[in-house]
């Protein structure tokens, strides 16, 4: 489907003039970074006393589920090669590095009866190494790798996960919070609950449609809130950092300006991400009202004695509301929403919402990823409209290719996305930083090593796992250095070095 440019322009209200070189600059204190996640880069899956995570377990027991039958056993071997990783960060000149901590490396039993010395030592080494070069660490506590032992006890379906997570969070804050000033509790709650519990696209692949997803959602949000309160009450007064939540927000653009289509967009947003963020960021707290009603209607029509998703109690709402110091947004792409056609046969309103991507938008290797014009700008706007002036970090944004260091599509994607950030800044949206996904190629979940997101390429057949900078690495470096996007800039050679002061 072809979307008229004019419509896009009028709806997002920006100048859609052909790209002109602008002299706009990123503010001096704007943070540029890169993101990774433990299971995707560390390898060393059983080093020292580390136990299996749900992703280790999935790959070991059901290798056919992963498109190239690979696993994260070695991945980028960052467990041993973190010094090279930090050297790459210095080459790029980034201000901050977002990475995640593997729960099963810190607490091999999942529960907090025993803390792994080796696990703590590893993350201490990473933190100290980045800080040595003035790169600020940002830690994600949970990026999808639950200890399998906790999954055996129900994982996010067991309400005790709230305490288990808070106990784990205490160990993380306690050990690293003296040096780490930004924490993210959960990465992409919707992907944890929808993909992992409500379908088969992420571990633990439970496929308990709706019911599993909703139980997970409530427990996860409560776990987040408990960890936030713990940080806020006990650690922040001494350590002085901040703690937040990171969620995937895709742009949803109405196909026409009609009321019906705008309503469909709102519903789409509610089901895709706002059901996880309204309880935290909205004024009244709790789940979106309309979503609750629609789920209740469907539940009744399907013969359930009660709704599949009840709202939080008033006490819980108050406990959850306001528990994030910033909005972490992972953003990749978006859709054009065409309308909403309720159907008696579907279990969820979400699947009744018509959506499409324009065939003219460049397509990445990941099937779901296209370069939608202005998508990051649209997403940032929607967040600000919904929740007001909350500080925002773009905690992930990136593009997948196959192997090869000439990654012009990635260059285009990043330039456009950063242009969107400048547009958002111009309008007073409080974007504090931008973390590109990813520093290097890594284990892309069910897609294994077939989709490459890195500034640095890795040949996973090479035992040395040598990291080689792509063209995009040089472009990102130049943007960070000059704080502006120069569309004419081309690297003279592909030889990397570390600039003075890094
Ligand atoms: C992230 O997931 C993960 O955090 C990261 O680990 C992963 O490697 C990376 O991205 C690349 O996949 O709403 O229109 O944007 C992103 C998963 C898949 C979430 C697509 C949103 C719907 C499309 N995203 N999904 S859209």
User: pLDDT tens digits for 336-353?
Assistant: 999 999 998 888 888 999
Using CA positions, which residue lies closest to atom 21 of ligand 1? 248
Pull the structure tokens for residue 85: 């990783």
Write the burial class of residue 342 (CB in 10 Å: 0-12 exposed, 13-18 middle, 19+ buried): exposed
Q: How far is the CA of 173 from the centre of ligand 1 (A)?
A: 27
Please choose from 66, 186, 191, 395 the residue to mutate so as to test ligand 1's pocket, defined by most ligand atoms within 8 A of CB.
191
Cβ pair 72, 63 in contact under 8 A: no
**53 DSSP β-pair partners:** 147
Q: How far is the CA of 319 from the centre of ligand 1 (A)?
A: 29
What φ, ψ does residue 254 adopt, rounded to 5°? -70, 140
pLDDT of residue 349: 83
Q: How far is the CA of 179 from the centre of ligand 1 (A)?
A: 29
Q: Which SS3 state, helix, strand or coil, does residue 396 take?
A: strand
Nearest CA among 360, 441, 433 for reference residue 398: 441
Q: Does residue 27 lie within any of the structural domains?
A: no
User: CA-based angle 84:456:86, to the nearest 5?
Assistant: 25
Using CA positions, which residue lies closest to atom 16 of ligand 1? 248
Pull the structure tokens for residue 59: 């790959």
- Measured from the Cα of 37, ligand 1's closest atom is 6
Q: Does residue 280 lie within any of the structural domains?
A: yes
Q: Give the DSSP letter string of 28-44.
A: TT-EEEEE--HHHH---
Q: What's the pLDDT tens digit per position in 408-425?
A: 999 999 999 999 999 999
What φ, ψ does residue 311 adopt, rounded to 5°? -70, 165
Rg of the chain (C-alpha set): 22
Please choose from 72, 190, 250, 357 the residue to mutate so as to test ligand 1's pocket, defined by most ligand atoms within 8 A of CB.
250
Cβ pair 244, 184 in contact under 8 A: yes
Q: How far is the CA of 446 from the centre of ligand 1 (A)?
A: 12
Using the 8-state DSSP alphabet, how is residue 234 labeled?
A: I
Please choose from 368, 382, 452 the residue to mutate so as to test ligand 1's pocket, defined by most ligand atoms within 8 A of CB.
368
CA distance 245 to 236: 16
Q: Give the DSSP letter string of 340-401.
A: E---TT-S-GGGGEEEE--TTS-B-SSTT-B--TTHHHHHHHHHHHHH-S--EEEEE----B
Domain that holds residue 150: 5-12+42-482
Residue 261 to residues 254, 344, 353, 355, 469, Cα–Cα distance (Å): 6, 20, 10, 11, 44
Residue 461 to residues 70, 75, 440, Cα–Cα distance (Å): 12, 11, 15
Dihedral Cα 398, 454, 248, 356, nearest 10 deg: 50
Q: Does residue 47 lie within any of the structural domains?
A: yes
Nearest CA among 433, 456, 436, 458 for reference residue 448: 458
Q: How far is the CA of 397 from the centre of ligand 1 (A)?
A: 9
Please give, one letter per residue, the 3-state secondary structure of 102-124.
CHHHHCCCCCCCCCCHHHHHHHH
What φ, ψ does residue 182 adopt, rounded to 5°? -135, 125
What φ, ψ does residue 501 adopt, rounded to 5°? 90, -5
What is the tally of structural domains in the chain? 1
Nearest CA among 372, 335, 331, 329 for reference residue 261: 335
91 carries an active-site annotation: no
Q: Does residue 36 lie within any of the structural domains?
A: no
Q: Does residue 498 lie within any of the structural domains?
A: no
Q: How far is the CA of 331 from the centre of ligand 1 (A)?
A: 7
Pull the structure tokens for residue 272: 């895709």
Q: Which SS3 state, helix, strand or coil, does residue 194 take?
A: helix
Residues with CB under 6 A from ligand 1: 37, 187-188, 191, 248, 250, 330, 332-335, 368, 396, 437, 444, 453
Helices (H) and strands (E) in the chain, counts: 19, 13
CA distance 189 to 144: 9
CA distance 142 to 102: 7
Q: Enumerate residue ranges in the chain where pLDDT < 70.
A: 1-23
Q: How far is the CA of 90 from the centre of ligand 1 (A)?
A: 26
CA distance 168 to 150: 12
52 carries an active-site annotation: no
* Cα dihedral sign, 310-314-316-320: positive
Nearest CA among 485, 487, 475 for reference residue 407: 475
Pull the structure tokens for residue 342: 């309720």
Cβ pair 183, 244 in contact under 8 A: yes
Q: Does residue 209 lie within any of the structural domains?
A: yes
- Measured from the Cα of 444, ligand 1's closest atom is 8
pLDDT of residue 22: 52
For residue 81, the domain's CATH number is: 3.20.20.80
CA distance 337 to 347: 19
Q: Does residue 136 lie within any of the structural domains?
A: yes
**184 DSSP β-pair partners:** 140, 244
CA distance 25 to 5: 26
Q: Which of 42, 91, 266, 396 is catalytic?
A: 396
Please choose from 143, 437, 452 the residue to mutate so as to test ligand 1's pocket, defined by most ligand atoms within 8 A of CB.
437
Q: Which of 188, 213, 444, 457 is catalytic?
A: 188
Q: Does residue 18 lie within any of the structural domains?
A: no
CA distance 490 to 472: 10
CA distance 307 to 298: 8
């Amino acid at each position: 489907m072809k979307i008229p440019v004019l419509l896009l322009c009028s709806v997002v209200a920006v100048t859609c003039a052909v790209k002109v070189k602008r002299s706009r600059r990123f503010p001096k204190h704007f943070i540029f970074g890169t993101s990774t996640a433990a299971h995707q880069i560390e390898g060393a899956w059983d080093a020292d006393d580390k136990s299996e995570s749900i992703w280790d377990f999935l790959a070991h027991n059901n290798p056919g589920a992963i498109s190239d039958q690979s696993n994260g056993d070695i991945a980028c071997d960052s467990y041993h090669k973190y010094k090279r990783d930090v050297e790459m960060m210095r080459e790029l000149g980034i201000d901050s590095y977002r990475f995640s901590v593997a729960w099963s490396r810190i607490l091999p039993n999942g529960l907090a009866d025993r803390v792994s010395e080796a696990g703590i030592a590893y993350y201490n080494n990473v933190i100290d190494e980045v800080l040595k070069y003035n790169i600020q660490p940002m830690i994600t506590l949970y990026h999808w790798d639950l200890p399998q032992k906790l999954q055996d006890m129900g994982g996010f379906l067991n309400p005790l996960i709230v305490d288990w997570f808070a106990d784990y969070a205490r160990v993380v804050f306690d050990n690293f919070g003296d040096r780490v000033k930004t924490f993210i509790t959960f990465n992409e709650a919707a992907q944890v609950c929808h993909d992992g519990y409500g379908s088969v696209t992420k571990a633990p692949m439970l496929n308990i449609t709706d019911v599993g997803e909703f139980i997970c959602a409530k427990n996860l949000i409560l776990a987040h809130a408990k960890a936030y309160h713990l940080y806020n009450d006990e650690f922040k007064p001494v350590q002085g950092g901040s703690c937040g939540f990171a969620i995937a927000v895709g742009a949803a653009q109405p196909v026409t300006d009609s009321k019906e289509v705008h309503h469909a967009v709102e519903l789409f947003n509610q089901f895709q991400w706002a059901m996880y963020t309204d309880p935290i960021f909205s004024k009244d707290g709790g789940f979106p009202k309309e979503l609750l009603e629609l789920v209740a209607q469907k539940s009744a029509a399907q013969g359930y004695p009660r709704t599949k998703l009840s709202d939080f109690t008033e006490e819980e709402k108050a406990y959850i509301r306001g528990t994030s110091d910033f909005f972490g947004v992972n953003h990749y792409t978006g859709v054009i929403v065409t309308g909403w056609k309720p159907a008696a046969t579907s279990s969820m309103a979400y699947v009744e919402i018509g959506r499409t991507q324009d065939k003219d938008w460049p397509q990445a290797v990941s099937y779901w990823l296209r370069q939608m014009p202005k998508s990051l700008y649209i997403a940032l706007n929607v967040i600000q409209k919904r929740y007001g002036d909350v500080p925002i970090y773009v905690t992930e944004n990136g593009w997948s290719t196959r192997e090869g260091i000439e990654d012009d599509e990635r260059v285009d994607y990043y330039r456009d996305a950063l242009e969107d950030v400048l547009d958002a800044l111009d309008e007073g949206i409080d974007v504090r930083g931008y973390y590109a996904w990813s520093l290097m190629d890594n284990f892309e979940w069910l897609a294994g090593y077939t989709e490459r997101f890195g500034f640095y390429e890795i040949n996973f057949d090479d035992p040395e796992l040598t990291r080689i900078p792509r063209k995009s690495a040089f472009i990102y470096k130049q943007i960070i250095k000059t704080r502006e996007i120069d569309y004419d800039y081309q690297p003279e050679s592909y030889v990397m070095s570390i600039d003075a002061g890094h």
